[in-house]
Amino acid sequence: MEYVNPEGLRLDGRRFNEMRQIVAEVGVVSKADGSAVFEMGNTKVIAAVYGPREIQNKSLQKKNDHALVLCEYSMAQFSTGDRRRQKFDRRSTELSLVIRQTMEACILTELLPHSQIDIFLQVLQADGGTRSACINAATLALADAGIPMRDLAVSCSAGYLNSTPLLDLNYVEDSAGGADVTVGILPKLDKVTLLQMDAKLPMETFETVFALASEGCKAIAERIREVLQENTKQLEYRRAA
Amino acid sequence: MMMRKLKLELPLNQTQKVRFERAMERLKLLTSETNNSVIVADSIHEDALLLKGHGTSEVDGELLANVCGVIVHVDKLVYVRTLRAKYKPEVRDIVVGRVIEVFQSCWRVELNSNQDGVLKLSSMNMPDTVQRRKTSADELNMRDIFVEDDVVCAEVGCIHRDGGLELQASSHKYGKLEKGELLKVDPYLVNKSYHHFHYIESLGIDLILGRNGYIWVGEHVQVQDPLIVETRKEQSHTPLETRQNILRIGNAIRVLSNLGFTMTKEVIMETSNLSNKENIDLHDMLGSEFHVLVAENEAGRRR
């Protein structure tokens, strides 16, 4: 199948280095301490953060003087075309772990001893790149909850199809069988916190794909910063007496 | 019940939308010159040698913010004051909380903080006012004082190094709160002040602005000699008018919380008076019109 036509356009009309439209909003769950909705094209994720709060289950606590970060990823039954049966399958367990590790790397857990932070993520619509969308949503929600972080962790995926590196794969491109590289970075500190690839790529190709994904991450970080800046400004000018 | 959405989730008609936006615009203009808000990983540009405080960290010689908030300078200290976050306890803060567990010789109190507060039996004033060592009989009778789900008012006694906080209630103004309602707002909306206990005489109600964002509105109770309380223990009912007053103040607080305005006794009273003046029913106070009115009122007040 042709994923990139001779004019250089992809199936949904994007160019190779173009991302889908991003819509982000903070404070969507009124009961949660922090929450956000993050949309990338047709992928839509809602995140809710509770905490830092008293540890509910002491047995999960490993390091006494660090905060415990827990993450739960799930896909809504209606998120894909065909009905999903299990709520917690192996895929979501793996994703929960990946997201938890990424977020744990950017939260300053040593500042919050004896407490736990719960991150709940639900995919409302799945169209490829749910992993990245979840990380971005979680970052927004954590920042909204006022949890101290090293940097905003952002993530973006890139792939390689028809000898072209492609940014931000959608579901059709994702299931084409090519390599799918998900990159998570801390843009300010210039560090990589997540790198996953589910196929093989030659070294040189990998580097171009990785560079493309990092560029995507930086663009997303810009967008996330704008949303947070706007939110903080609003809160401040409303409060100021 | 805690609200934090910036956009009002209420159906506004065209006029209300324009009025609301104009009020918000005016609030924005009033503070625009002093708005020094930062978000996570923003660098704080400072030339002078500074002491870095909460919410900041130094990475490669650059001072970065760790939380979203506002930069505050105190002499040489620079720190970031968070807006939406959990309550950060300070010693001698007055807080309102809910008892969630009764232990051997202490109660665990939920305070909207990183950890639950601990109220020890020994730092509690007994109903009989006698200062004495607490015996095991007192421990057995702990449930006579507070049980689970009671709302209590106390003072932050000390904060341990690991963040655990101990409460104390060694005065008659602290203790169990009854006959009223507990409202939860964001802690940044309640500023520290000399007075957190307010008695609104005209309405006959008590208002306690807990620093942790928990606000108590209840029927006024006379702080008096506890021996007298002991003698007349009959159940008295709150009159209807007082209940309506409690609800009116409660709804005023809800509206202010929805709009993200700072809570002080004055602002709350003004909001409640505004609803009286505009003849707005109790159940209409949470509607769109009153939200817009309060926003306009606030814009006018700050000028």
Residue from B2, B3, B4 to probe the interface with A (highest A Cβ count within 10 Å): B4
Q: Give the sign of the dihedral formed by CA B192, CA B195, CA B196, CA B198.
A: negative
The three state secondary structure string of A158-197 is: EEEECCEEEECCCHHHHCCCCEEEEEEEECCCCEEEEEEE
CB contact under 8 A, B28 and A237: yes
A146 → closest Cβ in B37, B57, B67: B67
pLDDT at A217 over 80: yes
Q: What is the pLDDT of residue A238?
A: 87
Peptide bond into A52 cis (omega under 30): yes
Tens-place pLDDT, residues A44-94: 999 999 989 998 888 887 777 899 999 999 999 888 887 766 767 898 999
> Residues B41-66, buried b or exposed e (16+ Cβ, 10 A)?
bbebeeeeebebebbbeeeeeebbbb
Tens-place pLDDT, residues A147-194: 999 999 999 999 999 999 999 999 999 888 889 999 999 999 999 999
> Mean pLDDT in runs of 10 for chain B (303 residues)?
54 88 88 77 77 87 90 88 91 94 91 92 73 81 90 93 87 87 93 90 92 93 58 68 92 92 92 92 89 91 81
Interface membership of A146 toward B (CB under 8 Å): yes
Residue from B84, B103, B118 to probe the interface with A (highest A Cβ count within 10 Å): B84
Q: What is the pLDDT of residue B190?
A: 93
Q: What is the pLDDT of residue A181?
A: 95
A146 → closest Cβ in B85, B116, B259: B85
Q: What is the pLDDT of residue B1?
A: 37
Tens-place pLDDT, residues B191-225: 988 889 999 989 989 999 999 999 999 998 876 55
Domain ranges within chain A, ordered by starting residue: 22-56+63-239
Q: What is the pLDDT of residue B43?
A: 87
Contacts of B186 (CB under 8 A, 6+ apart): B2, B4, B83, B84, B213, B257, B260
B115 → closest Cβ in A115, A144, A241: A115
Mean pLDDT of A229-241: 86
Tens-place pLDDT, residues A13-55: 999 999 999 999 998 998 899 999 999 999 999 999 998 999 8
Q: What is the pLDDT of residue B47?
A: 65
Residue B33 sits at the vertex; the CA angle it makes with B27 and B38, to the nearest 5 degrees, is 95
Chain A residue with minimum CA distance to B264? A241
B2 → closest Cβ in A30, A186, A187: A30
Q: What is the rounded CA–CA span in Å between residue B287 and residue A175?
A: 48
Domains and CATH numbers, chain B: 40-82 (2.40.50.100), 86-177 (2.40.50.140), 179-223+237-303 (no CATH)
Domain A22-56+63-239 belongs to what topology?
Answer: Ribosomal Protein S5; domain 2 (3.30.230)
Chain B residue with minimum CA distance to A147? B67
Question: Which residues in B lie closer than 8 A to residue A65 (C-beta atoms)?
Answer: 162
Question: Which residues in A lie closer than 8 A to residue B70 (C-beta atoms)?
Answer: 232, 236
CB contact under 8 A, A241 and B32: no
A65 → closest Cβ in B34, B66, B162: B162
Name the average pLDDT for chain B.
86
CB contact under 8 A, A235 and B84: yes
CB contact under 8 A, A148 and B66: yes
Tokens for B274? 């505004």
